[in-house]
Amino acid sequence: MASCIDPAKLQITRTTSPKPKVAKEKLSFGAVKSDHMLEIDWDVETGWTAPRIVPYHALEIDPAASVLHYGLEAFEGMKAYLDPSGKARLFRPDLNMKRLSNSMERLAFPALDKDAFAECIKALVRVDKDWIPRGEGFSLYLRPTVIGTWPYLGVHAAHRIKLFCIACPVGPYYPEGFKPVKLLADDLHVRAWPGGVGDAKVGGNYAPTIAVQAQAAARGFTQVLWLFGQGKGGQGQEKLVTEAGTMNFFALWKDAGSGRPTLVTAPLDGTILPGVTRQSILDLARAGSLGDLDVQERPFTIGELAAAGREGRLLEAFGAGTAAVVAPTKLVHYAGEDIHIPLDPANPSAGAGPLAQRIWNELRDIQYGLGSHASHPWSVAAE
């Protein structure tokens, strides 16, 4: 019985009918898939199969499989980038593996061999390297996924699972420069709660958000700002600000006491997805790489955000995640009130504030290995 994933046993079957590449300008997020995928199965009796890289294909799945009934599914989102010398790199893959391992534990899946699985993902990147589009903002989006395949209708830990990874060439999130978003702070729906699964990247967290997102879009908002707490409307000012859509959320304001520029984000209290981008922004800010600002990882309320706006202390706000890196926010609407957020006072046509732009530049340089960041501990060679 293979108790571990063994990258040394990796079997590669290359496609005999490679798909035509799609023009870089035509890539839309997650629509185009590369030629290959990675698959590894696990069975409680026999353990892990050898990892396989095979042509991209539809899965055959038993209609009783637990993923189809009880949502036994977790996933990751990461990217492979080409550096100036044409080598493929990943960005902090250890954090994705740790998070996937935590998500799997929450679903009573077997323990994940994090390093071994990361090696298999690197092998997929090498096989599909010609699918990584070159250029700033371009990358190969990787979607490691794990599902319960055991065909048994009892609500029970899966005796069989499938771990796989597909890859999609993607272009810049903002092909024409930053496009600041408007968020609707939702008063009725809750994304996550203490003791729930908000800190696990499990599919079950996302299905219930789609209708809420659609309602916000129908009202002219780009995304939902998820709050948590008691009260509604005027009574809801103590509600905590948690996340924006599928991104972590940051505000930069002058602290009401010290007057210092302060970067605030919600703490990892179980209701927040531990984003790799979020962690990287906090790490850079604490290391002083983002300028002179204080950093606070603490619960903060929609009332505090509104007060900072009213009092002219609010400097910037943005979402943070792998897909967009940063999503500058220009407005948050809550309970009939608009909270306006400045972008760049020195440059009214800029779609992002100076801090969001600085974060974007810094992370881009690390991810693509540019300039002074040609080598950086967060940027890991895939070949």
Report the residue from 213, 246, 271, 367 that binds ligand PLP according to the rule CB under 6 A. Answer: 246
The count of other CB atoms within 10 Å of the CB of residue 167 is: 27
Helix/strand number for the chain, H first, E second: 7, 19
**Based on the number of CB atoms within 10 Å of its own CB, is 28 exposed (0-12), middle (13-18) or buried (19 or more)?**
exposed
Q: For 1-138, list the strands marked E by DSSP.
A: 11-12, 36-43, 47-48, 52-55, 73-75, 78-82, 88-91
| Least distance to ligand PLP, CB of residue 300, Å | 17
Report the residue from 201, 239, 330, 333 that binds ligand PLP according to the rule CB under 6 A. Answer: 201
| Least distance to ligand PLP, CB of residue 247, Å | 5
| Least distance to ligand PLP, CB of residue 81, Å | 14
| Least distance to ligand PLP, CB of residue 127, Å | 24
Interface with ligand PLP by CB under 6 A: which range of 4-12, 43-51, 180-188, 272-280? Answer: 272-280
Q: What is the DSSP string of 2-39?
A: B-S--GGG-EE---SSPPPPPPGGG--TTTS--SEEEE
The count of other CB atoms within 10 Å of the CB of residue 261 is: 17
Interface with ligand PLP by CB under 6 A: which range of 211-219, 244-252, 258-266, 342-350? Answer: 244-252
Tokens of 178: 């930053």
Report the residue from 276, 281, 290, 305 that binds ligand PLP according to the rule CB under 6 A. Answer: 276
Per CB under 6 A, 248 contacts ligand PLP: yes
Residues 6+ apart with CB under 8 A from 127: 12, 14, 35, 36, 53
Per CB under 6 A, 277 contacts ligand PLP: yes
| Least distance to ligand PLP, CB of residue 104, Å | 15
In terms of CB distance, is 195 or 257 closer to ligand PLP?
195
Number of residues that bind ligand PLP (CB under 6 A): 13
| Least distance to ligand PLP, CB of residue 57, Å | 26
Nearest by Cα to 26 from 170, 148, 144, 154: 170
Tokens of 275: 């984003």
Per CB under 6 A, 149 contacts ligand PLP: no
| Least distance to ligand PLP, CB of residue 243, Å | 5
Per CB under 6 A, 146 contacts ligand PLP: no
Cα–Cα distance for residue pair 128/359, rounded to 1 Å: 29
Q: What share of the chain is helix, strand, coil (3-state, %, to 5)?
A: 25, 30, 45
Tokens of 129: 């390297």
Per CB under 6 A, 321 contacts ligand PLP: yes
Q: What is the DSSP letter of 253?
A: E
Per CB under 6 A, 243 contacts ligand PLP: yes
| Least distance to ligand PLP, CB of residue 67, Å | 18
Per CB under 6 A, 49 contacts ligand PLP: no
Q: What is the DSSP letter of 131?
A: G
Nearest by Cα to 178 from 64, 327, 76, 371: 327
Interface with ligand PLP by CB under 6 A: which range of 239-247, 263-271, 350-358, 373-381? Answer: 239-247
What residues line the site for ligand PLP (CB under 6 A)? 77, 201, 243, 246-248, 273, 275-278, 321-322
